[in-house]
Amino acid sequence: MNIYDFLQNRFKLNTRKDYNNFDLTENTKKILCDIGIPKEPLGFIKFNIDELKTLKHEDDFVIIGTDLGTNICINKNDEIISVDFENEYPTRLINKNLESFLHFIVIFLLHEDEINSADDDTISQIIQKIKVEFEQIDELALNNQENWWPIILEQIETGMM
């Protein structure tokens, strides 16, 4: 499955050409500047790149959106991270790169109806199935319980989200 076709069919994808001015990999620039990312793919993620006034935080991070309280950024290693500029929450790894992050979002979206209609007994099974699919794309994202996705999945599983 082509994740970009899936996202294009489901959302309007926003691009922003000034990401070309940053030190990002060519693949990341292509996604941000040419292909685009969905503005609100999930209720807890907003890629509001067309509205962001500041795209860069110091020399460390390029901002691409927000979640429920932190900024979603790309660091110098092309990793997607969650950064709280007010230092209430630790910086957390989300994914190894933007393409993996979008792939995770597509996997999650494919299971969204199942999650929303699941009872307490089956939600854990669905989350386990999602984790298996995630690990095939980016093991690093799940290898620490303090990373962003394990926390998100736990919150969904326990009904906190």
pLDDT in tens, 116-160: 898 888 999 999 999 999 999 999 999 999 999 999 999 998 887
* CA atoms of 135 and 100, how far apart (whole Å): 11
pLDDT digits (tens, 9 = 90+) for 12-66: 888 889 888 888 999 999 999 999 999 888 888 998 877 777 777 666 789 999 9
Residue found by looking up tokens 């795209």 in the block = 55
Q: What does R_g of the chain's alpha carbons equal in angstroms?
A: 15
Which residue, 11, 114, 24, 115, is CA-closest to 75? 24
Contact 37, 8 (CB under 8 A): no
pLDDT of residue 118: 85
Q: Pick the residue with more confidence: 10 or 58? A: 10
Strands laid side by side in the 56-57 sheet: 56-57, 61-66, 71-74, 80-83, 92-95
The pTM (predicted TM-score) of the whole model is 0.91
